[in-house]
Chain A
Amino acid sequence: NAGVTQTPKFRVLKTGQSMTLLCAQDMNHEYMYWYRQDPGMGLRLIHYSVGEGTTAKGEVPDGYNVSRLKKQNFLLGLESAAPSQTSVYFCASSYVGANEKLFFGSGTQLSVL
């Protein structure tokens, strides 16, 4: 009954460092999403994927890259972290798109110093 699992849960980076956030879902969902949550801003979509091997840009894609090599995994990469990328990152998945229920992971808190 894992649902959507994100790793790591917390991370501190220095400006310019790189890292990858991993999202894994065990519900055989086609759609996967990466959101960032900032105080007073709600959630904003970074990138999404509608199936294995496909990715697309969301509302705030700059500074991030993603890959969906396997259906169950969706990776979010920061090549050169900046303080503006300090945020809480949420992965989500759904079976048939945003019109139906999204299942969210518990989040990754990232601080870039």
Chain B
Amino acid sequence: GNSVTQMEGPVTLSEEAFLTINCTYTATGYPSLFWYVQYPGEGLQLLLKATKADDKGSNKGFEATYRKETTSFHLEKGSVQVSDSAVYFCALSNSGAGSYQLTFGKGTKLSVIP
């Protein structure tokens, strides 16, 4: 079956520090990969996605590259801000017919301090 493993948090960084949140996956076929972000008191929002190997998703300074050889989709940002404090979820969806379900990782809470 499908599964997503992401690094456990919480992660606390100072403003302008470099961020990496690791994510690895197990899936059959060729899944699409996603990062969703949940700000306090809100629902999840799509941050970025990649649909095939070697694709790089990017948004708001965040990047992640779909690495099929290492089954990974690590999230990175060069300089975090206090406003990036949130919970980040890695997720996958199998492409093709019947792809109704997103499989989520457990989430990584990021706190950025001034």
Binding site for B on A (CB under 8 A): 4, 31, 33, 40-45, 48, 50, 56, 58-59, 90, 92, 97-99, 101-102, 104-107
Contact = CB atoms under 8 A, between A and B. Distances in A.
Chain B contact surface mostly:
loop
Given A41-B106, A42-B105, A56-B100, A102 B32 contact: no
Interface of B: 4, 32, 36, 41-46, 49, 51, 89, 93, 95, 99-102, 104-107
A106 B42 CA distance: 5
A106 B102 contact: no
Given A90-B44, A106-B41, A106-B42, A98 B106 contact: no
The 9 residue pairs across chains A and B that have the minimum distance between CB atoms: A104-B43, A42-B104, A98-B93, A42-B106, A43-B104, A101-B46, A104-B44, A98-B102, A106-B43
